[in-house]
Structure 1
Amino acid sequence: MRNKQDQQGLTLIETMMILAVIGILATISIPPAYQLYEDSQARAQATEALNLLESVKSPIAEFYSEKGRWPTQPEFDGLITDRSGKYVANLSPIALASGFQVTATFRNSGVSPGLLNSGSGRTLVLATANGAKWICNDSTDPAVGVPGLNPGTLLPQHRPPSCK
């Protein structure tokens, strides 16, 4: 009579098959997970731009209500002291025929790849027609937006929730 030995552990073939399945699953799941990570990183960095833009609302609205016009570039520079950040290169004002807009331009290095557009930084825009109601990024609708604004180039998935 033969002695039967109980199998203990996995054979080499079984182990290789398990590793192959794990490799296939990793290959399928890592790219979407990495894209989600990059998108969340870009959204977090875009929040800095929105915070800088939010800080211009009050001084610009006060200037407009006192003088009845929008500030020039030198006046804007005097009103707004924080015009850049870790991810934002600068804030640029533009007086429009129908209102005023401030554009935050992201740096072209040290930011999430989603905040770049052909090697230069994307933009996030805050605009107003009257100093009281502000819109974010790209609404040129005459009823709810600011006609004539230069829309921002920040991708919709990277915009802060208040800019969607």
Structure 2
Amino acid sequence: MRKAAGFTLIELMIVVAIIGILAAIAIPAYQNYVVRAKVAEGLTYADQAKTSVSEYYLAGNTWPSTNASAGLPDTLAGNYVSNVQVGVSSGVSTVTVLFNSSVVSGLTVVFTPVASGGTVAWSCSTDAAYAQYVPSSCH
């Protein structure tokens, strides 16, 4: 008699079930990682704008009100960023990063400066619904 070799149907079904469970866990984690990587592009553009705003303030002790006054292009955009805008809120400049809808629809990150003793520190805020996509300092 010949000895049977190979996998039984039950063994193959168990392997398929295990792969399905692993995929159910891995795919959402990967999607979150992809969005966070896209948000990182916007934070890089924001760093450029924050540096310009800080230099403007330290040179003249006033805040710039537009991208142009901060020495930035009117449209500062990238693959996942629709624009980075310098504006004024409550007498202080803000840097607002607007993301394309391909990243997360409605996601904006706002950086607000605090000047103290010849230095400028920045705080970050975003809507709580998007907290999982931004650095912990923005919560």
TM-score by length of 1: 0.69
Deviation at 1:55, TM superposition (A): 0.7
Structure with the higher strand share, 1 or 2? 2
Output the amino acid matched with 1:128.
P
Deviation at 1:59, TM superposition (A): 1.6
Q: Which residue of 1 aligns with 2:5?
A: 9
**Gaps in structure 1 of 5+ consecutive residues:** 110-114, 139-150
Deviation at 1:133, TM superposition (A): 0.5
Deviation at 1:26, TM superposition (A): 2.1
TM-score by length of 2: 0.80
Q: Paired residues, what number?
A: 135
User: 1:125, 1:152 within 8 Å by CA — same for their partners in 2?
Assistant: no
CA distance in 2, matches of 1:41, 1:122: 15
Between the two structures, name the one with larger relative contact order (CA 8 Å, sep ≥ 6).
1
The 3 A distance-change label for structure 1 pair 94 and 154 is farther
User: 2:50, 2:95 within 8 Å by CA — same for their partners in 1?
Assistant: no
Q: 2:112 aligns with which of 110, 127, 130?
A: 127
Q: Please list, as runs of the form range in 1=range in 2, the aligned pairs for 1:27-38 lying within 5 A after superposition.
A: 27-38=20-31
- Structure 1 residue 63 and structure 2 residue 56: aligned? yes
Deviation at 1:66, TM superposition (A): 2.8
**Gaps in structure 2 of 5+ consecutive residues:** none
The 3 A distance-change label for structure 1 pair 74 and 94 is closer
The 3 A distance-change label for structure 1 pair 98 and 18 is farther
CA distance in 1, matches of 2:85, 2:128: 14
The 3 A distance-change label for structure 1 pair 74 and 102 is closer
CA distance in 2, matches of 1:67, 1:154: 37
Q: Please list, as runs of the form range in 1=range in 2, the aligned pairs for 1:67-86 lying within 5 A after superposition.
A: 67-73=60-66, 75-76=68-69, 79-81=71-73, 83-86=76-79
User: 2:85, 2:95 within 8 Å by CA — same for their partners in 1?
Assistant: yes
Across the aligned residues of Structure 1 and Structure 2, the Cα RMSD in angstroms comes to 2.5
Output the amino acid matched with 1:55.
Q
User: 2:45, 2:76 within 8 Å by CA — same for their partners in 1?
Assistant: yes
> Aligned with 1:73: secondary structure?
coil
The 3 A distance-change label for structure 1 pair 72 and 98 is closer
Deviation at 1:54, TM superposition (A): 0.5
Fraction of identical pairs, as percent: 23
The 3 A distance-change label for structure 1 pair 74 and 83 is closer
> Aligned with 2:63: secondary structure?
coil
Deviation at 1:15, TM superposition (A): 2.1
Deviation at 1:27, TM superposition (A): 2.2
Deviations, residues 93-141 of structure 1 (Å, cap 9, x unaligned): 23122632211111123xxxxx323xxx4112222122610122x2xxx
